[in-house]
């Protein structure tokens, strides 16, 4: 029977450890703080940011909130980023994406102080990840890829020498997880598949591990995987459920694959909680580095 990889449980264990580290920091006069910049009132973004601050409260991290209206100018957003860069109560922060239409998101991300980049997605930090393939790295790491690796590690799934097929080339997971998986500390061999890849199924059938991050509901089916593969489902799609009469979140991995796999992450309840836990881990580590 395949192992169900419980992201909620692992994330809870990580947060418990982080809470202890936060207490030790406070004893030394350091209170870790996570900042968020929310522009507009997109329901998904509002809920996501609220969840981050609830996580902060759970482990004793200070919350720094900045909110701007949907019609905020580039200059307004840039000034808010500058304020967070300079705020000593904020060890790290995120700019909640997407930003309103007409705002250059990459230009805003470039304005973040790399040392305060809680998402680990600033070009400088991604460059450090590329350069430090062989040794330790002390810059913030991308949350979702880090969460995937920590989740597999918690279940003693060794990636050393394994063939990993990554589906999707988005910067949040697809491109960045390849950088992390091929570091000496992990030592996997990665094939990155995307819309231009010929015979994606052929690559999938050779893989020991599949990381699906396409946002294509049920794309990974039993005929496309080999017996005993490990399935990591990062994809998120809203699919209308005719019976229930409402939309449901569905991942990239068809549940029919579970019987053929050796282990799998459910969706929801797999990688999602780990992404949030890794954001907290980045902030606590930033505070620890400030000592």
pLDDT tens string 106-127:
999 999 999 999 999 999 999 9
Contact 81, 109 (CB under 8 A): no
Residues spanned by the domain of 172: 143-272
Residue 1, pLDDT score: 85
Residue at 4 is within a domain: no
CATH of the domain at 187: 3.40.50.720
149, 98: one domain: no
Residue 198, pLDDT score: 95
Query: Which amino acids are annotated as binding site for NADP(+), given as ranges?
Result: 168-170, 236
Cβ neighbours of 88 (radius 10 Å): 7
Over range 27-40, report the average pLDDT.
Answer: 97
CATH of the domain at 83: 3.40.50.10860
Residue at 39 is within a domain: yes
CB-neighbour burial class of residue 92 (10 A; exposed 0-12, middle 13-18, buried 19+): buried
Residue at 231 is within a domain: yes
Residue at 34 is within a domain: yes
101, 177: one domain: no
155, 259: one domain: yes
Q: What is the pLDDT of residues 13-26, one digit of tens each?
A: 999 999 999 999 99
pLDDT for residue 230 is more than 80: yes
The CA-based angle 110-287-53, given to 5 degrees, is 75
Under the banding of pLDDT at 50, 70 and 90, the label for residue 187 is very high
Over range 135-145, report the average pLDDT.
Answer: 91
Which helix or strand (DSSP H or E) is residue 163 part of? strand 163-167
Cβ neighbours of 43 (radius 10 Å): 7
Residue 100, pLDDT score: 93
88, 191: one domain: no
As a whole number, the mean pLDDT across the chain is: 95
92, 201: one domain: no
- The number of distinct structural domains making up the chain is 2
Tell me the catalytic residues: 52, 96, 119
Residue bearing tokens 């060890």: 91
């Amino acid at each position: 029977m395949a192992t169900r990889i419980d992201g909620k449980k692992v994330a809870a264990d990580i947060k418990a450890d982080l809470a202890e580290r936060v207490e030790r920091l406070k004893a030394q006069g350091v209170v870790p703080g996570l900042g968020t910049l929310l522009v507009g009132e997109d329901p998904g973004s509002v809920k996501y940011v609220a969840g981050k601050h609830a996580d902060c409260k759970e482990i004793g991290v200070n919350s720094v909130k900045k909110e701007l209206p949907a019609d905020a100018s580039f200059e307004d957003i840039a000034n808010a980023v500058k304020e967070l860069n300079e705020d000593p109560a904020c060890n790290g922060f995120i700019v909640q994406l997407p930003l309103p239409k007409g705002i250059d998101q990459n230009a805003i991300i470039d304005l973040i102080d790399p040392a305060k980049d809680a998402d680990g997605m600033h070009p400088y930090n991604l460059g450090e990840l590329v350069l430090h393939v062989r040794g330790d790295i002390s810059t913030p790491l991308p949350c979702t890829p880090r969460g995937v690796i920590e989740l597999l590690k918690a279940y003693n799934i060794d990636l050393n020498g394994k063939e990993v097929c990554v589906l999707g080339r988005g910067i949040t997971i697809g491109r960045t997880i390849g950088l992390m998986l091929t570091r000496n500390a992990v030592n996997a061999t990665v094939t990155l598949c995307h819309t231009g890849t010929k015979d994606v199924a052929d690559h999938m059938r050779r893989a020991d591990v599949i990381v699906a991050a396409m946002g294509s509901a049920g794309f990974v089916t039993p005929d496309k995987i080999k017996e005993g593969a490990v399935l990591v489902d990062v994809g998120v799609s809203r699919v209308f459920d005719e019976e229930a009469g409402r939309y449901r979140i569905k991942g990239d991995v068809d549940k029919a694959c579970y019987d053929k796999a050796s282990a799998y992450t459910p969706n929801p309840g797999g990688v999602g909680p780990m992404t949030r836990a890794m954001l907290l881990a980045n902030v606590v580590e930033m505070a620890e580095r400030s000592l």
